[in-house]
Every structure is written in structure tokens, then in C-alpha cells.
């Protein structure tokens, strides 16, 4: 978006206001951009931005006239940041996972780009370029969720509050299907209980563990769960804490929930002294890995 890295929302509001008032032709919309942003002249550059807003769902074109879509009218009517954030997170896979990743610590633009590609390969960016990652952090900066400090990006207080709420608020949203969709598991389930978390939180956790259970070596995402060390029920403030979650196979998650082993704050494994098994798998991956 034109207007500067922290002005994306202001620019969006101006575009939607103009289109709502005048239903301009493409030529008129390009001319408006050139008049409002004096350093902008390339028609291709302008139309890339306009087409992005169309893809996100704010605009639609009919007979060379631009109008607000239902989503655009909803945002203009509400005019609040919560509505905009919901729209952007719904239409841009990876925005929430980026916020979860930033909750673990500051990230450079290169790290942001790598995180997005590792967590959501379908975005299909080039690893040599960071322009798409920059657009994402600028949207989040413009919405007050992220701030820039020298060459790193960090969550604001508003961003941290969003992360704490999103792991539950977005739990019932659809997950973008991976290439082997038949193996995916979008929910966290055990025979003890069933719970859903935000699919982008799950994707963030699995990406941090390279889609592999660190105990068993199981590397099929559909066979992995997001396991909380400090329990979901008793420690709600740590539900979205990436330092408090592991990617465990369903068997090892169930064993963990039943207290057969635990993990300390240094990520050392401690086995319940009463745990006995004849299973070669459980002996090799739990009992023999104590400490």
C-alpha cells in the first residue's frame, strides 16, 4: 500500500471512501492515486494494490466501474480495527501465525519471511526476497499490533492481547489444506478430552518442530498434536505461549496427559517412577530418554 509503512489503514480508508462516493472507472481510480500520492505514477504498481484489495474482498469491478464489495461495505460501516483485523486474518493465511511467532521474541524481516514460508509453504514467495514479508508486517504495524525497533519487529501490548485471545477465538476456523490433505488433523484430540486451537497456532507450533515429534520422530502432521506443558485449563495465560507447547505424536501426547512423563522448564524429560511397559517403542522413546 502507498503512503508509508504505518499508513496502510489510512490509505485503505481513503481508497474505500473514494470508491464508495464515485464508483470510479479504472482510469479515474489510477488518476486519483497519482493525485493523492505524488511519488506514484506507475499504472502497473497502482493496479497491483487495487487488485490485492479486490482479492482480499474489499472491492469488486463491474463494467469497468469499481464498487465496494459486501466485505468493503461492512468495514466502512463498522469503521473499527477489530472488523478490519478479522477480515485481514480471514483472507491472508499466515498473519496470525506471524503474530504467534513474534510473541516468542523479536524478528528481522528475513526471519519473518522464513517463518511465513516454513509455516505456510503455499504462500509461495521467493526466499531471496522479503517484499511480501514487509507488506505483512506493515499491515500489522498499521493496525497497531506490531512495532519496528531498528531492524527488528516486536509485538505491541495490543498484539500480545490479540495473541492471547486468538488461540481460542479462531479455534473453529478452517485450516488451509496442506498437500497431503487426507492426513491433516486440524484439531487437538486425545481420549482424555477434545479441544480445538487456532489452526494457525497449530501450524506455527508444528513448523517450530519441523513437523516432527521430538520424542518419537513421527513426522506426519496428521498424527501430531499440540501439547501444553502447563495445562490449558489451569494456566490460561500460557495457552498461546510457544515456550509452553510441544508437537507430540498422539500416543506420546496421551502418555503425557496421563502423567506417565513430564517436561521441566529446561525441556528435560522426567519419567513417572510407576510407569512400566513392555513396548519397545515406549521404552525407547520415553523410559530410555529420561533426563
Using the 8-state DSSP alphabet, how is residue 103 labeled? T
Residues 95, 168 share a domain? yes
Residues 73, 95 share a domain? no
Give Cβ neighbours of residue 4 (< 8 Å, ≥ 6 apart).
Answer: none
- Whether the pTM exceeds 0.95: the reply is no
Residue of 79, 85, 72 lying closest to 23 (CA atoms): 72
Burial of residue 157, with CB atoms counted within 10 A of its CB: 0-12 exposed, 13-18 middle, 19 or more buried: exposed
**Domain termination residue (choose one: 146, 172, 198):** 172
Evaluate if residue 41 carries a pLDDT over 70. Answer: yes
Q: Lowest mean pLDDT of 134-143, 179-188, 207-216, 243-252, name the range.
A: 179-188
Evaluate if residue 194 carries a pLDDT over 90. Answer: no
- Domain with 42 in it: what CATH number? 1.10.10.10
Residue 118 or residue 3, greater confidence: 118
Residues 17, 49 share a domain? yes
Residues 56, 16 share a domain? yes
Residues 163, 101 share a domain? yes
Handedness of CA 246, 252, 253, 259 (dihedral sign): negative
Evaluate if residue 191 carries a pLDDT over 70. Answer: no
**Domain termination residue (choose one: 152, 172, 192):** 172
CA distances from 269 to 106, 219, 255 (A): 28, 20, 12
Task: Report the number of distinct structural domains present in the chain.
Answer: 3
20 in a structural domain: yes
**Domain termination residue (choose one: 50, 78, 106):** 78
Residues 122, 61 share a domain? no
95 in a structural domain: yes
Three-state DSSP class for residue 266:
coil
The contacts found for 283-290 with CB under 8 angstroms, 24 or more apart, are: 285/215, 285/216, 285/217, 285/252, 286/215, 286/252, 286/255, 286/260, 286/261, 289/215, 290/261
Residues 73, 98 share a domain? no
184 in a structural domain: no
231 in a structural domain: yes
Residue of 269, 218, 227, 265 lying closest to 245 (CA atoms): 227
Per-residue pLDDT of 199-231, as tens digits, reads 999 999 999 999 999 999 999 999 999 999 999
182 in a structural domain: no
For the chain, where are the E strands, in sequence order? 59-62, 65-68, 107-108, 146-149, 152-155, 188-189, 194-195, 224-228, 245-249, 261-263, 269-271
252 in a structural domain: yes
Residues 122, 163 share a domain? yes
Helix (H) or strand (E) holding 204: helix 199-208
Q: Could you tell me the residue range of the domain that residue 55 belongs to?
A: 7-78
25 in a structural domain: yes
CA distances from 259 to 14, 166, 183, 236, 256 (A): 56, 28, 28, 20, 5
Look-up: residue for cell 494457525?
A: 200
Residues 103, 73 share a domain? no
Evaluate if residue 54 carries a pLDDT over 60. Answer: yes
Residues 94, 126 share a domain? yes
| Residue 258 to residue 261: CA distance in whole angstroms | 8
Pair 247, 211: CB distance under 8 Å = yes
Per-residue pLDDT of 69-99, as tens digits, reads 999 999 999 889 999 999 999 999 999 999 9
- Quote the mean pLDDT of the chain: 90
Amino acid at each position: 500500500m502507498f503512503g508509508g509503512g504505518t499508513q496502510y489503514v489510512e490509505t485503505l480508508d481513503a481508497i474505500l471512501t473514494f470508491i464508495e462516493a464515485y464508483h470510479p472507472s479504472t482510469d479515474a481510480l489510477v488518476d486519483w492515486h497519482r493525485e493523492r500520492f505524488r511519488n506514484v505514477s506507475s499504472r502497473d504498481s497502482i493496479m497491483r494494490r487495487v487488485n490485492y484489495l479486490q482479492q482480499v474482498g474489499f472491492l469488486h469491478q463491474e463494467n469497468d466501474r469499481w464498487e465496494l464489495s459486501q466485505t468493503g461495505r461492512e468495514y466502512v460501516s463498522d469503521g473499527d480495527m477489530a472488523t478490519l483485523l478479522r477480515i485481514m486474518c480471514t483472507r491472508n493465511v499466515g498473519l496470525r501465525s506471524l503474530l504467534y511467532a513474534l510473541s516468542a521474541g523479536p524478528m528481522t524481516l528475513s526471519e519473518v519471511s522464513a517463518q511465513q514460508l516454513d509455516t505456510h509453504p503455499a504462500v509461495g514467495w521467493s526466499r531471496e526476497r522479503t517484499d511480501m514479508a514487509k507488506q505483512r508486517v506493515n499491515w500489522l504495524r498499521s493496525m497497531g499490533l506490531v512495532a519496528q525497533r531498528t531492524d527488528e519487529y516486536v509485538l505491541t501490548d495490543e498484539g500480545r492481547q490479540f495473541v492471547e485471545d486468538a488461540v481460542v477465538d479462531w479455534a473453529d476456523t478452517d485450516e488451509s489444506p496442506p498437500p497431503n490433505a487426507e492426513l491433516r488433523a486440524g484439531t487437538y484430540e486425545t481420549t482424555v478430552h477434545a479441544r480445538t486451537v487456532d489452526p494457525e497456532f497449530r501450524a506455527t507450533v508444528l513448523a517450530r518442530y519441523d513437523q516432527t515429534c521430538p520424542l518419537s520422530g513421527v513426522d506426519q502432521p496428521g498424527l501430531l498434536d499440540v501439547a501444553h506443558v502447563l495445562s490449558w485449563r489451569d494456566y490460561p495465560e500460557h495457552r498461546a505461549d510457544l515456550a509452553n507447547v510441544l508437537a507430540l505424536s498422539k500416543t506420546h501426547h496421551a502418555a503425557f496427559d496421563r502423567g506417565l512423563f513430564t517436561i521441566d522448564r529446561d525441556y528435560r524429560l522426567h519419567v513417572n517412577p510407576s510407569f512400566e511397559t513392555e513396548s519397545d517403542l515406549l521404552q525407547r522413546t520415553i523410559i530410555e530418554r529420561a533426563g
